[in-house]
Structure 1
Amino acid sequence: GFQVFKETVNLDEQYPELVEQAKLILKKCRGLPLALVTIGGFLASQPKTAFEWRKLNEHISAELEMNPELELIKAVLLKSYDGLPYYLKACFLYLAIFPEDYMILRRRLVRRWIAEGYSSEVRGRSVEEVLDSYFMELIGRSIILPSQQSIHSRKGIDSCHVHDLIREIAISKAMEENLVFTLEEGCSLNNQGTVRHLAISSNWNGDQCEFENILDLSRLRSLTVFGNWRQFYISDKMRLLRVLDLEGEWELVDHHLKHIGKLVHLRYLSLRGHASVFHVPNSLGNLRQLQTLDISGTSIMKLPRTIIKLVKMQRILASGIGTEYTGLYDPDVPALLRLPLCSALCCVACCAPGIFTEELYLEDDAQFNRRDVCTAFCCNILPYYAAGGQNPGGVEVPSGIWKLKALHTLRTVDISAGKAVLQDIKRLTRLCKLGLLGINKRNSQELCSTIACLSGLESLSLDSRRETGLSGCLDGVSSPPENLQSLKLIGNLVKLPEWIQGLKNLVKLKLEWSRISEHDAAIQVLGNLPNLATLRLLDDSFAGEEVGFSFRQEAFPCLKVLQLDWIGNLKSVGFEEGAAPKLELLQYIGWINDFRVGLFSGLACLPSLKEFMLYREHWVKTEFVEHLRGQLAENINGPVLKSWQ
């Protein structure tokens, strides 16, 4: 693409200062032939100076609008927009909220569309299924572009981005219709419009007066903050706000949320990624319209009692940082979680506040005040451990959660403090996705009964990281959910539960720290699952002095993705002729001593293989890599060897 562009604009070696600008312009074109030719032809007639080319880069939206030589691009792109059916136009314009080159997660986008009311149930299909199809239709029309396909997604595409020039069309049309406004450095401060969606860029540094005067906050339907938090961003003037999306990793702390209960029309609330948030206020119970609460990646251990009032709630997403970091002294864990040393700090902050200044900088840029510290410890950390909680990373839910009859996604719930919560969950008969951690022998019988009762489950995650793990805890499942499509088992198993062989609709399976000792028997069971498409075997999922996997003829008929990460003592992975005929991606991460010639065999027998992903190729001996390349070269499908780190 760069060579074609150079030839179009007659760019030769005399203009090295233009190469950087040319690459930026090429990036905006993203391979769109019409844009390459038209913009290239336009620049060919312009002075070859970095200033002129930088001006086009920085003001391409205005140039498309005003420059007659570039009108053709805008006309064609507008035709693409005009040709969209009515139900896709609103979904497309909504993308103007997100910054340039921003990777937009499919689930985040679809959940926001749901909150905005962009669709309804159609002939038995849920709203989420309908809007998922809208997302895929925009992909099919090349209006949005899929990001790198993920091995973690059952749908294959879990994120997207917007072509830069198409994004300019979205921004232009959204502004015409007073739909989206972005607060950013240098933006006009005299809008005073009735904008429905406000996005705040990380580079905007205005004050509260500017914020409240720039537009009519009472008409806002959504607020999205991309960093540089200010407490006045949440205003009681936002009476009609439906979506509050604060997802990110910036300086949000507990006291910033004290007015959240005033947003009574809120349907979507995301605090995802804020490890310095420990507590959701009781006023959350005022949000009677709330459908989605996303507190994944926060330090919240317990949901307020008032949440049982939110009878329209459909999704509670809570997988805390403890899920990833098991050591309380890990520097990546917020300081307040590193017990017991920080418990003294918290107690003193609560009982002798005069010792501290009003603001405490305990880690990075997180700005806690005394009340934050007291709330985090007295309302969150201390009650959790006092009640017998032992698995930080999930969230404790109050008794009475069964009243949220509309719930279809609930994860990840910590059940280590008692089994009463399982009796509540058993009554949530509309649940499709469930995640539990803190499983042990004491609650295992109630757990198995709960799983058998939730016949509509499509996704199930079970996590127990104590020494005994899941061993012996899952054998009592008499009849697993018939439509189960995704299963994650994290923790010591020793052997696969027998009921797994009956999961005829299982598409995705993840095993982690399972330490399964019967290698051949387990692989044979998994190989007979007729619809298994993704198999992820991670972190000592198999154990023994020598671990070997033999993929036999006709086994794994639908497998597309195989991930083998950090399996200790792995000696061999072999594929017979006719095994895994649809396997497209094979990913391997191992210890340095595991990279031996002959570790993998039969790669030439995989007729659909496209990629072999190898972690840190520079770690690996040349002989190992060459042996892999030799096998891949014999494969008629021409798979490639890729590495990452």
Structure 2
Amino acid sequence: MNANGSDCSRGRAGCGRRRKAKQKGLQDRADATEAGSSFNIASTTSSNSADNKSLTHTEMTIADFKEYEQVGREKEKSDIIKLISNEDSQQLDVISVWGMGGLGKTTLVRDVYQSQHLSVRFRYRACVTIMHPFNCDELIKSLARQLDAEDYENKEETGLAGGRTKPRLQRSLTDILEGKKYLIVLDDLSSTTEWDSIIQHLPARETSSRIIVTTRSENIARHCSKKQENIYKLQILGYEDGLNLFMEKVFHKIAYLNDEYPELVEQANLILKKCDGLPLAIVTIGGFLANQPKTALEWMKLNDHISAELEMNPELERIAAVLNKSYDGLPYHLKSCMLYFSIFPQDDKVSRRRLVRRWIAEGYSRELRGKSAEEIAESYFMELISRSMILPSQESIHSRRGIDSCQVHDLIREIGISKSAEDNLVFTLEDGCGLNNRGTIRHLAISSSWKGDQCDFKSIVDMSCIRSLTVFGKWRPFFMSEKMRLLRVLDLEGTSGLVDHHLTGIGKLLHLRYLSLRGCDDIYHLPDSLGNLRQLQTLDVTYTSIIELPRTIIKLSKLEHIRAGGIGSNDGGTHETYADTLCTLALSSMAFCVGCCAPQVLKEVMDMDGDPNRRDVCTACCCNKLPSAATRQSPNGVEVPRGTRRLKALDTMGVVNVSGSRGKAVLNDLKSLTRLRKLRVTGINKKNSQDLCSALSNLSCLESLLVRSEGNPGLSGCLDALPSPPKKLQSLKLYGNLVKLPEWIAALWNLMKMELRSSRILEVDAAMQVLGNLPNLAILRLLRHSFASEELRFSLNRDAAFPSLAVLELSLLDKLESVEFQGGAAPKIELLQFRGWRYKANTVLFAGLPSLLSLKQVLLKGRYEDGFVDDLRARLAGNPNRPVLKLN
């Protein structure tokens, strides 16, 4: 058999024999491992003596991996058999099983293929593993041989099957399958082109036949299976199943660690954490440990040196080989993006936004053929998700895109670190690492565990070539070196100990494109030298103590994203009294005097983590604490200078506080920022609302808008003067007294996400009717004090209400006593999230839950009496979709 298509009974051993190089031989062995090595169905296929000679290796590998089918996959096997056996479908259906390498997709499909239930239903069966380079003719010959071995051999003897043209082969396979019910497995499909080449050889007539495809890519799975219900994502094993599989492999039984091997519990958990539910890793590492002394010391050695073991230990090489195959299959541009994850710590949840902006700053993504650099970078992120190279860690209701952040499997991260180290791409300063002879470094990450001093830091060779500096943990002033003249990315998100004077030299980093001080709450002021950073694209000072951006920011003509302020928990209640303000002012004045004389005293009073000097303290008092107290300024936004109209490249801006004396000028500047897609403003009132509405009418590209107002009257009447809202608006958040919804909301046909807080809507039925008519509204979040009503009714006796709603969150609606879903309302709702209080055992809060046929999950936050939860669970039991109830 040619290396381009192999009968399942023969596996890939024959292909491996032809490859002489050690590296390729290892990769072939890894391919065989991932594929379960063989489907072992010799009864359905013919074989020659040469192929039979390879069975020794095949049988050994099957023995090594037999635990796959014994532990943890019973439900998955049952699910796929149900999809194949669907009696409602009388046409050719394709079932796609997809997921990352090493999950055991092939082994699972092998078990499905060999099930007695399917062997009775399908007389004509065949399975092939797609080999590479891909050769369609050889693969079709393999299928034909398995589907009708005797007839195909007769054709070979008469010269009708081999040696003829492609059309003759096509007719041969079509003739075999015409009018017959068949089951075909296509294992390890790696491109849509391969599928398109294969499917044209199969009969086009409607039939009850089935094709099973395994692939690592969601995009390929969707291309093959036109029905959403036939796309099956294989997940990692849960902890219990993973532990049982590990115990079975190490001890040849399901052992109870706590009882039988208590000294191994800690190290076993660390091993399972690294494996993270990946059957290939669990089985391989378990098999290796089965032949090692069962001591905590031996297992600790493996944990401490897992990277080296994956590379050098012959018994573990197969893990790296299988996972390397996923990396090697990436296009060049995605390889750079993938290796970039080596910068972030193990188990770190990396924000999608953070990654995308950094990739752009590094030059991984550029504007191309009408698509912005951000759109292209977003597509890279989603493609890595689709290829199972990164895993979504938060399918969040806060994002209309659905995925806010991601993680990398520990073992894939180890491989990425190894590849990055080979090219000196990423170097991480961490406890115990050596610094000398590192050569040129492009990306430097400083771990929270590193305890070195300035001399150690300076021993790194050639810091002048560093393109990005990322600090995790505590900041030390010597981290920022004058030698880093080519630095593009300075990411200090969440760093502690950073104070104002540490940033005085930042203006010398002339190539800087990305600056994040996010979460550095001891930063009160940015230096004027920020205006020297003419290449800066992203400035993120969210959740710092900054209340005003420097005047020089208007020089940054390439600035695309200003992220500042932070929406806190203040819900727009009444301002503190005048006496309270005077008290605050007096205390702040006292603090100011102390600050001039004794910075250390004020450092303790202000709970500053860093090492502030007198100027830092005075800046904090004079430019932040004192003005905020005197003007009762909202802590949730920043003031920007006049002249922001010059920042023509701005895409994102906010949270901007327009309540001060410059607010009117700033809102007037907004009119010129016609490329703006995301805007967040706070401090809206009757005096400036007309200017806000005028500005919004000019922002035709706006997709996301947040408007906030403090206290009374809040937003009431402030938004009514907007005659024509931005037509592209997809996300709208309104925080503050509204009393009633502005009329123009009814015209937001593209709105996907709506969030209300402290809006105190009185005309509840009218508001629900407006929201229910929005055709694309998918996420609705009604937060504290948004509705002043005891009842919420979805549908209002209309079947077409909320046609696209998928996520509904109701949080801290203190008067709410009843939520009712009527008739066919919200037919697509999948997640209902609720947070409240005072709900006792006899409270019937939700009505109509059985009618929500798409509901998958109900998430309760807070504390509730058992009777209340039991009643809710009973109501959900009446829903044919059997939604899951989760308590948080």
Contact 1:299 1:320 in 2 (8 A): no
- 2:531 partner amino acid: G
| 1:392 equivalenced with 2:638 (yes/no) | no
- 1:256 partner amino acid: H
Match of 1:122 among 356, 362, 368: 368
- What is the number of residues matched between the two proteins? 631
Q: Secondary structure at the match of 2:721?
A: coil
Q: Counterpart of 1:287?
A: 533
Deviates more, 1:226-235 or 1:532-541: 226-235
CA–CA separation in structure 2 for the residues paired with 1:191 and 1:245? 25
Compute the displacement of 1:15 (Å).
1.5
Contact 2:472 2:495 in 1 (8 A): no
CA–CA separation in structure 2 for the residues paired with 1:453 and 1:429? 7
Q: Counterpart of 2:322?
A: 76
Compute the displacement of 1:496 (Å).
0.4
Contact 1:65 1:71 in 2 (8 A): yes
CA–CA separation in structure 2 for the residues paired with 1:329 and 1:518? 26
Q: Counterpart of 2:652?
A: 409
Match of 1:481 among 726, 743, 760: 726
Contact 1:301 1:381 in 2 (8 A): no
- TM-aligned CA distance change 1:257 to 1:364, over 3 Å: closer
- 2:250 partner amino acid: V
Q: Counterpart of 2:681?
A: 436
Q: Secondary structure at the match of 1:111?
A: helix
Match of 1:534 among 779, 794, 800: 779
Alignment of 1:47-62 (within 5 A): 47-62=293-308
| 1:635 equivalenced with 2:876 (yes/no) | no
- TM-aligned CA distance change 1:312 to 1:594, over 3 Å: farther
Match of 1:584 among 822, 825, 830: 830
Q: Secondary structure at the match of 1:181?
A: strand
RMSD: 2.0
Compute the displacement of 1:623 (Å).
2.1
Compute the displacement of 1:360 (Å).
3.2
Alignment of 1:122-271 (within 5 A): 122-248=368-494, 250-271=496-517
| 1:626 equivalenced with 2:870 (yes/no) | yes
Instruction: String of CA shifts for 1:319-374, please: whole Å, max 9, x gaps.
Output: 247665989999xxxxxxx9435422443145x43x55598333163433221111
- TM-aligned CA distance change 1:535 to 1:129, over 3 Å: same
Contact 2:841 2:866 in 1 (8 A): no
- TM-aligned CA distance change 1:248 to 1:512, over 3 Å: same
Compute the displacement of 1:299 (Å).
0.8
CA–CA separation in structure 1 for the residues paired with 2:745 and 2:419? 51
CA–CA separation in structure 2 for the residues paired with 1:324 and 1:134? 37
- TM-aligned CA distance change 1:396 to 1:410, over 3 Å: same
Q: Counterpart of 2:101?
A: none
Q: Secondary structure at the match of 2:424?
A: coil
| 1:420 equivalenced with 2:661 (yes/no) | no
Contact 1:346 1:374 in 2 (8 A): no
Q: Counterpart of 1:7?
A: 248
Q: Counterpart of 2:15?
A: none
Compute the displacement of 1:392 (Å).
2.1
- 1:526 partner amino acid: L
Contact 1:320 1:395 in 2 (8 A): no
Alignment of 1:15-30 (within 5 A): 15-30=261-276
CA–CA separation in structure 1 for the residues paired with 2:841 and 2:795? 19
Alignment of 1:569-608 (within 5 A): 569-593=815-839, 597-608=843-854
CA–CA separation in structure 2 for the residues paired with 1:216 and 1:284? 26
Q: Secondary structure at the match of 2:760?
A: coil
- TM-aligned CA distance change 1:115 to 1:516, over 3 Å: same
Compute the displacement of 1:420 (Å).
1.3
- 2:680 partner amino acid: G
Deviates more, 1:177-186 or 1:15-24: 15-24
Instruction: String of CA shifts for 1:385-418, please: whole Å, max 9, x gaps.
Output: 66x5632210000000110000010011000013
- TM-aligned CA distance change 1:299 to 1:322, over 3 Å: farther
Q: Counterpart of 2:801?
A: 555
Contact 1:569 1:594 in 2 (8 A): no
Deviates more, 1:294-303 or 1:6-15: 6-15
CA–CA separation in structure 2 for the residues paired with 1:323 and 1:253? 25
CA–CA separation in structure 2 for the residues paired with 1:314 and 1:404? 8
CA–CA separation in structure 1 for the residues paired with 2:446 and 2:574? 34
Unaligned runs of 5+ in 2: 1-241, 577-582
CA–CA separation in structure 2 for the residues paired with 1:542 and 1:6? 54
What fraction of aligned residue pairs are identical, expressed as a percent?
63
- 2:825 partner amino acid: A
Deviates more, 1:558-567 or 1:596-605: 596-605
Alignment of 1:487-566 (within 5 A): 487-544=732-789, 546-552=790-796, 553-566=799-812
Q: Secondary structure at the match of 1:360?
A: helix
Instruction: String of CA shifts for 1:200-238, please: whole Å, max 9, x gaps.
Output: 001111111211212321000000000121011111110
Deviates more, 1:420-429 or 1:31-40: 31-40
Q: Secondary structure at the match of 2:382?
A: helix
CA–CA separation in structure 2 for the residues paired with 1:266 and 1:359? 33
Instruction: String of CA shifts for 1:536-571, please: whole Å, max 9, x gaps.
Output: 000010014x33333342211111100000012101
Q: Counterpart of 1:65?
A: 311
Match of 1:360 among 603, 608, 632: 603
Q: Counterpart of 1:334?
A: none
- TM-aligned CA distance change 1:356 to 1:39, over 3 Å: closer
- TM-aligned CA distance change 1:339 to 1:242, over 3 Å: farther
- 2:679 partner amino acid: L
Deviates more, 1:37-46 or 1:596-605: 596-605
- 1:408 partner amino acid: D
CA–CA separation in structure 1 for the residues paired with 2:490 and 2:502? 13
Q: Secondary structure at the match of 2:440?
A: coil
Compute the displacement of 1:102 (Å).
0.6
- TM-aligned CA distance change 1:253 to 1:606, over 3 Å: same
Q: Counterpart of 1:335?
A: none
Contact 2:471 2:495 in 1 (8 A): no
CA–CA separation in structure 2 for the residues paired with 1:238 and 1:595? 63
| 1:371 equivalenced with 2:615 (yes/no) | yes
- TM-aligned CA distance change 1:218 to 1:642, over 3 Å: same
Compute the displacement of 1:31 (Å).
1.8
CA–CA separation in structure 2 for the residues paired with 1:430 and 1:116? 22
CA–CA separation in structure 1 for the residues paired with 2:502 and 2:587? 22
CA–CA separation in structure 2 for the residues paired with 1:231 and 1:522? 54
Contact 1:358 1:369 in 2 (8 A): no
- 1:487 partner amino acid: L
- TM-aligned CA distance change 1:572 to 1:358, over 3 Å: closer
- 2:676 partner amino acid: L
Look at both structures and tell me which one has the larger radius of gyration over its CA atoms: 2
Match of 2:593 among 335, 345, 348: 348
Contact 1:192 1:213 in 2 (8 A): no
Unaligned runs of 5+ in 1: 331-337
- TM-aligned CA distance change 1:376 to 1:94, over 3 Å: same
- TM-aligned CA distance change 1:34 to 1:478, over 3 Å: same
Compute the displacement of 1:192 (Å).
3.6
Q: Counterpart of 1:333?
A: none
